[in-house]
Amino acid sequence: MIVSKSFQRSEPRVCLVLAALLLGGTNSAAADSSMLDTLQMHGFLSQALVITDRNDFFGPSSSGSGSGSLKYTEIGANASIRPHQDVLIAAQVLSRRAGGDGSDAKPELDYGVVDYQMVSNQQRTLGAQLGRFKNPFGFYNQTRDVAFTRPSILLPQSIYFDRTRSLGLAGDGISIYLEERLPKGILRTQVGAGKAQVGDDVERTLGLEALPGSLDSQSSAIGQIRYEHDGGRFIAALSTASAEAKYSSPIESLDDGRFKFRPWIVSLQYNAENWSLTGEYAVRKLSLDNFDAFRNFETTGESWYLQYSRRINDEWQWFTRYDSLSNNRSDRSGKKFEAQTGRPAHSQYADDITLGVQWTPMSRLMLAAEYHHIDGTGWLPTQDNPDPADTSRRWNMLLFQLSLRF
C-alpha cells in the first residue's frame, strides 16, 4: 500500500483521541491542527452466506437443513495520519471469521507501517515502509480483505489461498518502493524483507497441527514489478517471494524440520470502457525437509485463472471465471499421491467455473452473489473438512454477501 503525501482530507476534531493513540500519547504534536487535518479513518464490514451441496466451506455450509453457513465475516477499521509531510503512519485492525470454531475472529493487526518518502516529485516517488506491510502479491493481495476492492466474493483460490491465507498476507520488516512516471505509463517496483506470518492455517494444511511443536517463521523476501500503460488500460505485473519456517518440537527427530515456499506469479489485465479481461499464472515450489519421522517432500504446483468482467452501468457488473489449481504439476490427476498416501486424488487439484454479479446501489453499500461448480478439493479448508476421505470430488457452492464501508 503506497499513499501519496499529497492525498489529504480533513476529518472532524473528534478524531483527536485516535490520533493521540496512534502517535503513542497526547503531546504537542497531537494538538497541531495542521497534522490533524491529515487524519483519515475508514472501516468496512462484510457478511456472507455460504451454501454447498457437498463438502463444507467456511463453516457447516452443507448441513442437511440447507440453511448454509454464516461463518464468513470480515470487520476492519483503519486510520492514517501525517506527523510530517514526508512521513505517514497507517494501521488497520481486522476481525475475520472464516469457518472453524470462530477463534480466529479476534481483532488482529492487519498492517501497521511508518512510511517515509525520501523522494516525491512529478517524475518519481521513492519511499520505505517499516512495520507490518501487506505483501505485493499478484493484483489483489494488498487489498484482499476489503470486499469493494475484490472482483468477486472469493478471490481465485488457485492464486489467493484462503486455507493458507496467513503465509502470503503480510510481512514484518521493511519494504522499499519506487514509482517512475513514464511518458506512456507508470512503472512500480516494491521489495520487502523480514519475516512472513505463519499461522495455524499453514500447520493444518501441512499436517503438522497434531504434532507437539510449532512452526516458527524465518527470514523471507518478496518483490513485485508492475507496469500500468495508458492510464491503466493495460496492466502487467511479476511477483515473487521466498518464505521459510522452522518446526521446533520436543521430539528430537522432528526438531530440524524446515518448510520452504517459493512462488512466481505473472499477472495481466486489459481494461476497456465496459469490460475487463484478467489472467494470472503462478508456479509454486514447496518443500518439507529434515523431518526424520514425517513425510518429506518437494513439489512444484501450478495455478492459473482467466476472468471476464462486464460493467453494465455504474451500479451493476457481472463476471465469469475459470480457475485451475494443481498441487503437483508432475501428478496433475493426484493418482500418484493417492497411491503413496491413501488420501483422495482429488485433494491435489481443483478446477472451478464461477459466475457472479455485483450490485452497488450507493458508494457505501454492495450486494454480491456468485455460483461455483468445482471439480476437486485442492483448496478446500482443512479446518472445515478434517477427514479428506469424507470429501466429494465434484461439488457446487452458492455465496451471497452484504458489504458496507464508511
Q: For residue range 126-156, what is the model confidence (pLDDT) as tens digits?
A: 999 999 999 999 999 998 989 999 999 999 9
Bridge partners, residue 366, by sequence: 403
With respect to residue 49, please indicate whether it lies within any of the assigned structural domains. yes
Q: What is the pLDDT of residue 251?
A: 66
The pLDDT of residue 244: 84
Whether residue 1 is contained in a domain is answered as no
Residue 293 has pLDDT above 60, yes or no: no
Residue 98 lies in a domain: yes
- Which CATH number covers residue 55? 2.40.160.10
pLDDT at 140: 95
Per-residue confidence band for 15, with pLDDT thresholds at 50, 70 and 90: very low
- Say what the pLDDT of residue 166 is: 75
| R_g over Cα of the chain | 22
- 185, 149 in Cβ contact below 8 A? no
Residue 164, pLDDT above cutoff 90: no
CA distance 7 to 18: 19
- Whole-Å CA distances, 397 to 101, 346, 355, 372: 21, 17, 11, 5
- Total domains in the chain come to 1
pLDDT band at residue 211 under the 50/70/90 scheme: low
Residue 327 contacts residue 310 (beta carbons within 8 Å): no
Banded model confidence at residue 297, pLDDT cuts 50, 70, 90 = confident
Domain of residue 233, residue span: 13-405
Report percent pLDDT > 70 for the chain. 84
Q: Is residue 6 part of a domain?
A: no
Question: Please, where are the H alpha helices in 146-264?
Answer: 165-169, 200-206
Which of 76-85, 244-253, 282-291, 299-308 is predicted least confidently? 244-253
User: Is 2 within the bounds of a domain?
Assistant: no
Question: What CA–CA distances, in Å, run from 80 to 75, 83, 143, 232, 244?
Answer: 18, 10, 16, 26, 31
pLDDT value for 9:
37
Residue 5 lies in a domain: no
d(CA 112, CA 41): 14
**Rounded to whole angstroms, how far apart are CA atoms 147 and 159?**
17
Tell me if 4 is assigned to some domain: no
Q: In this structure, is residue 8 part of a structural domain?
A: no
pLDDT of residue 315: 96
